[in-house]
Homo-oligomer: A and B are copies of this chain.
Amino acid sequence: MDEQNEKILLAHGAGGKLGHDLLDTVILPELANPILNELHDGAKLKVSGNIAFTTDSYVVKPLFFAGGDIGKLSVCGTVNDLSVTGAVPRFLSAAVIIEEGFPVADLKRIVRSVKETARAANVAIVTGDTKVVERGKGDAIYINTAGIGEIIPGTDISPTNVTGGMKIILSGYIGDHAACLLGERHGLNLGAALKSDCAPLNTLTAEMLSAVPDIAVMRDATRGGVAAVLNEIAVAAKVGILIDEEAIPVREEVRGVCDLLGFDVLQLANEGKLIAIVPAAKAETLLSVMRRNPLGQNAAIIGEVRDSPQGTVGLRTALKSIRVVDMPAADIVPRIC
């Protein structure tokens, strides 16, 4: 597996000798740890307390983009889903579906990115799987990760905790991830300022929960963006949500992409941003804690929860009119994560 131009073959996914070679030369040199090295059908783990469990598949296109790649994304996404559940992420699985002919060099680059991101997030990849499909039956590589985290005692994160009067905090600039990918897909020259915000949020959420254990709910604003997250919470909690357009951090470059391509920044996917909803009396405390972490340095209170109209999200515009923020329908960006 050392050749510059080596390609993945169907047999690499068939459970025999070539699959073992791939493990030994590409996967284990990067991801080795005592649990993974056992190469059991299942990894044996010690956990304490209640756990959180989540999964996502990653089909992002292009595979490599400013600020990240599918490997980094596949670790961050699952780490973040565990983090916003109030858990400390501990163990991840990684399963790849590779298209025949995929360059081994690209696979190595992705595996290295998985390793580096897992190290940054302090999680171990403990089990995995490799499948190979025929040329034209996939698209380079798809990655699934599932993750297990230990729920931090005393936390109770649920949208149904949300009640009127609570404040809504956003952890920073929105739309960077989707705007970056849209820019790359459309060949826009966006300059160095715009890159994906892809990052593991577990240090941020741990600090937030340590300072304010009674956070009602946290959600990372991935597919469907802030619009989807707030609509889901409004429906689940049977509340109204009102946010202020002027309070929402948006980079000029992201506004430019939205204007050019006709997207609503509130519907754009983020991969390193979260929404937290918290009792009003704790909002300033939480905000200052978040701003001390680089991942939350641009955090802002962007709105508040109302008793009504239930199940709806409103945006107070710069002109002080209010428009409804809908759940994104069909015209959002495919294969963004």
| Residues 1-30 of A at the B interface (beta carbon under 8 Å) | 9-11, 13-20
Which chain B residues border A144 with CB–CB below 8 Å?
55, 57, 95, 129, 144, 146
0/1 interface trace, chain A 165-182, chain B, CB 8 Å (1 if under): 000000000000000000
Stoichiometry, as copies per complex, reads 2
Contact check, B327 vs A17: say whether CB atoms are below 8 A apart: yes
State the majority secondary structure of interface residues on A. Answer: mixed
Which chain B residues border A44 with CB–CB below 8 Å?
50-52, 85, 151
Which chain B residues border A94 with CB–CB below 8 Å?
55
Tell which of B45, B137, B219, B331 touches A138, judged by Cβ atoms closer than 8 Å: B137
Tell which of B20, B56, B138, B157 touches A95, judged by Cβ atoms closer than 8 Å: B56
List the B residue with the shortest CB-CB distance to A222: B15
Q: In which size bucket is the chain A interface?
A: 35 or more
Smallest CB separation, A36 vs chain B (Å): 11
0/1 interface trace, chain A 277-318, chain B, CB 8 Å (1 if under): 000000000000000000000000000000000000000000
Contact check, B15 vs A332: say whether CB atoms are below 8 A apart: yes
Contact check, B40 vs A93: say whether CB atoms are below 8 A apart: no
Contact check, B95 vs A57: say whether CB atoms are below 8 A apart: yes
Which chain B residues border A220 with CB–CB below 8 Å?
41
